[in-house]
Structure 1
Amino acid sequence: MEYILQPWPWYVSGPCIAIVMFLLLYFGRTFGMSSNLRTMCAMGGAGKRVAFFNYDWKSHKWNLIVVLGAIVGGFIAHFVLSDSTPMDLSEATIKDLTALGFKDAGQSLLPPELFSWDAVLSIKGLSILIIGGFLVGFGTRYAGGCTSGHAITGLSSLQLPSLIAVIGFFLGGLIMIHLIFPILF
């Protein structure tokens, strides 16, 4: 019997996320990737130049476990839970992706047209990374947190600002993929 590697099903990963969130809330902690970046910047001395990073980062260094978990989890997801089976995409999606310039639509989760070193290190790729990074940083600061913080921590603790932020994230994603992405590619 051949074993096919698959991501964890929702009924395993969902309760795992719920348990982690319960434990964080129980111990008075919050979850979010942007707070980890803030902690790393404060550790590096950014608080000497920018007041936002001038805080007691030592009381938040537990948060860096999330960064380690994201790195280890990404490694496990790629090397243990992934297989090379092509994705089951509809013909309409393949046609749309081909029209946007993707040669082997559905053959990889990370198409080389976007994720190869040649694509990333091009003028267009670097411009998208720099402008996108600035916009994500600005949006995260303006919204008071990132998508993971608002969507997981904020919604699980029934915070209205997080609901509004998550709706904004989804609307921004829809605008990007349907209006801006076709112009860029």
Structure 2
Amino acid sequence: MELLLKPWPWYVSGPLITLVMALLLYFGKSFGMSSSLRTFCAIGGGGRYTKFFKFDWKAQSWNLMVVLGAIIGGFIATHFLSDGSVIDLNEKTVMELHTLGFKDVGESLMPSEIFSWNAVGSLKGLLVLIFGGLLIGFGTRYAGGCTSGHAISGLSSLQRPSLIAVIGFFIGGLIMTNFILPLIF
């Protein structure tokens, strides 16, 4: 049981991800969370407003199980498989986050300065959610998929557009972390 309460090492989780990807490729499916969002929008009638959501969503309904599995798996991991230990962060990272106003760095995966109802309900929190949501929605549509789809599914099937997208995601993440995030906090 103690093994379940510790983060799984790469040599366990990596092959499991590989197994899932091999099964998806074998059955002619591709992985990605943004395709699930597209399916949800199509179910909700998005096809009445744009051609992008006008497709046979029933053929993609299997992908909704990925979302359900992520939700259930996240719940199980945080409530039953977590030992509550502090996150092991580099001391320099801890100091930089303290200077940005984060108090209990490493105590939680979701810092209250971002994920509490007070933070989300503030003007800054609402603007970050709305602006960030629009950028993510535009970015996933423009890139033809999300980070998980390109980085896991696209790269495993050796797609050049996925390699370019993943490089762009990393560059964007570095710019956000080093230049934009300090301006927000």
**TM-score, normalised with respect to structure 1:** 0.95
Aligned partner of 1:41 in structure 2 is 41
4+ runs deviating over 6 angstroms: none
Aligned partner of 2:150 in structure 1 is 150
The one-character-per-residue Cα deviations of 1:35-81 (angstroms, maximum 9, x if unpaired) are 10111110111101111000111111111110111111111121122
Aligned positions, number: 184
Q: Once the 2 structures are TM-superposed, how far is the Cα of residue 6 of structure 1 from its aligned partner?
A: 1.4
Q: Which AA in structure 2 matches 1:8?
A: W
Whole-angstrom CA distance in 1 between matches of 2:68 and 2:93? 35
Aligned partner of 1:81 in structure 2 is 81
Q: Structure 2 unaligned runs (5+)?
A: none
Whole-angstrom CA distance in 1 between matches of 2:71 and 2:61? 16
Whole-angstrom CA distance in 1 between matches of 2:91 and 2:19? 39
Whole-angstrom CA distance in 2 between matches of 1:91 and 1:13? 27
Q: Structure 1 unaligned runs (5+)?
A: none
Q: Once the 2 structures are TM-superposed, how far is the Cα of residue 14 of structure 1 from its aligned partner?
A: 1.1
> Is the 8 Å Cα contact of residues 7 and 81 (structure 1) preserved in structure 2?
no
Aligned partner of 2:24 in structure 1 is 24
RMSD: 1.3
Whole-angstrom CA distance in 1 between matches of 2:36 and 2:88? 35
Aligned partner of 2:104 in structure 1 is 104
Q: Once the 2 structures are TM-superposed, how far is the Cα of residue 3 of structure 1 from its aligned partner?
A: 3.9
Q: Which AA in structure 2 matches 1:165?
A: A
Whole-angstrom CA distance in 2 between matches of 1:37 and 1:104? 33
Q: Once the 2 structures are TM-superposed, how far is the Cα of residue 157 of structure 1 from its aligned partner?
A: 0.4
**Bigger Cα displacement from structure 2, 70-79 vs 130-139:** 70-79
Q: Which AA in structure 2 matches 1:38?
A: R
Whether 1:71 and 2:77 are equivalent positions in the alignment is: no
Aligned partner of 1:166 in structure 2 is 166
Aligned partner of 2:180 in structure 1 is 180
Percent identity of equivalent pairs: 67
Q: Which AA in structure 2 matches 1:94?
A: V
Whole-angstrom CA distance in 1 between matches of 2:116 and 2:99? 19
Aligned partner of 2:95 in structure 1 is 95
Whole-angstrom CA distance in 2 between matches of 1:78 and 1:28? 32
Q: Once the 2 structures are TM-superposed, how far is the Cα of residue 89 of structure 1 from its aligned partner?
A: 2.4
The one-character-per-residue Cα deviations of 1:66-100 (angstroms, maximum 9, x if unpaired) are 01111111111211222222222233222111110
Whole-angstrom CA distance in 2 between matches of 1:79 and 1:86? 15
The one-character-per-residue Cα deviations of 1:139-172 (angstroms, maximum 9, x if unpaired) are 0010011101100110000011100000000000
Q: Once the 2 structures are TM-superposed, how far is the Cα of residue 105 of structure 1 from its aligned partner?
A: 1.6
Aligned partner of 2:140 in structure 1 is 140
The one-character-per-residue Cα deviations of 1:8-39 (angstroms, maximum 9, x if unpaired) are 22222111111111111111111110110111
Whole-angstrom CA distance in 2 between matches of 1:33 and 1:91? 33
Whole-angstrom CA distance in 2 between matches of 1:174 and 1:51? 34
Whole-angstrom CA distance in 2 between matches of 1:130 and 1:46? 20
Whole-angstrom CA distance in 2 between matches of 1:141 and 1:90? 35
Q: Which AA in structure 1 matches 2:30?
A: T
